Amino acid sequence: MVIAIGFEGSANKLGIGIIQDGVVLSNPRHTYITPPGEGFLPRDTAKHHREHVLQVLQQALDEAKINPQQIDVVCYTKGPGMGAPLVSTAIVARTVAQLWQKPIVAVNHCIGHIEMGRLITGAKNPTVLYVSGGNTQVIAYSHRRYRIFGETIDIAVGNCLDRFARVLKLSNDPSPGYNIEQMAKRGKKFLELPYAVKGMDVSFSGLLSYIEERAPQLIKAGEYTPEDLCFSLQETVFAMLVEITERAMAHCRSEEVLIVGGVGCNKRLQDMMEKMAEEREAILYATDQSFCIDNGAMIAQAGWEMFKAGQTTPLNETSCTQRFRTDEVEVTWRK
């Protein structure tokens, strides 16, 4: 029996989760929500994490009904992510690991998403689409690595959606992407947008500039509603993602596809992916917002796997890094 606690704070979600052998005992989260039209900046986000981390930690312990001595390993997000928020959370993980005299494990955030998705859905060896505000990657496991088959060459798909939400001054509560999704459901008229798939990679920045520039005029002239534009944007970027995911699945002869990351709870993306999967006689796996969106349990789960495989991180190596690619980690816990 191994109990792991995970600390996540790489972006605007502060999460602490406790897992005991694949069972989520608790997973509270506190999200930094900025006013409409504004994104979250590193310094303010770190301040948010510092202000709430002790309360969220207490909540995680209370809900799990365990005391710190029962914990076997402390896990935290090493990266990728925003520097200041990462550090503000890691410092608490390091502190409690020393106070409680527990080993510590540094976790790659992307791998946290993959391992949590596998745990929750039961997918064995899926092709993974990881889509969030900071990341866009198509990943498959091969020879002890999560290999990146395709990725964005500029901004993440979630960043593209978030920034368009700012143009429309949509609320950031619960998230800009969620509000775009609701608007898109009421969209009817499709605006053709630049479609940028380059081999296995995708690009969103040109598309974003294109729609950002034209949106105010198109709305003012009554040619397109904000709903139409949300609809057009979603259809275009999701089609790009499904295309590169399908190509990776064909290459790997994959019979499973798993969507993880904050954008992964978008129902329209799930529907489009499911249609593609059906045509290939493959199965789509996805999770709801509690596990898709950044959370502490996913860091605990990946850390639990690493710890069980005999890995711990020496205290003097428990740093953070803004850039930390998924394929840098040797996957010691899978066959």
Phi first, then psi, for residue 169 (nearest 5°) are: 55, 40
- C-alpha–C-alpha distance, residues 262 and 321, integer Å: 21
Q: How far is the CB of 331 from Mg ion (least distance, A)?
A: 18
User: Which residue has the CB atom at the shortest distance from Mg ion?
Assistant: 132
Q: How far is the CB of 80 from Mg ion (least distance, A)?
A: 9
Q: Does 181 bind Mg ion (CB under 5 A)?
A: no
CB nearer Mg ion, residue 12 or residue 132: 132
Q: How far is the CB of 272 from Mg ion (least distance, A)?
A: 21
Q: How many helices (H) and strands (E) does the chain have?
A: 10, 13
Q: How far is the CB of 137 from Mg ion (least distance, A)?
A: 11
| Segment 264 to 293, residues that bind Mg ion, using CB under 5 A | none
- C-alpha–C-alpha distance, residues 95 and 333, integer Å: 27
Contact 53, 92 (CB under 8 A): yes
CB nearer Mg ion, residue 34 or residue 70: 34
Q: Does 162 bind Mg ion (CB under 5 A)?
A: no
The string of DSSP codes covering 60-129 is HHHHHT--GGG--EEEEEEESS-HHHHHHHHHHHHHHHHHHT--EEEEEHHHHHHHHHHHHH--SS-EEE
Q: Longest C-alpha distance within the chain, in Å?
A: 64
How many residues form the binding site for Mg ion (CB under 5 A)? 2
Q: Does 294 bind Mg ion (CB under 5 A)?
A: yes
Q: How far is the CB of 140 from Mg ion (least distance, A)?
A: 18
CB nearer Mg ion, residue 132 or residue 301: 132
Under DSSP, is residue 131 helix (H, G, I), strand (E, B) or coil? strand
CB nearer Mg ion, residue 87 or residue 167: 87
| Segment 207 to 246, residues that bind Mg ion, using CB under 5 A | none
| Segment 114 to 153, residues that bind Mg ion, using CB under 5 A | 132
The residues that touch Mg ion, with contacts defined as CB under 5 A, are 132, 294
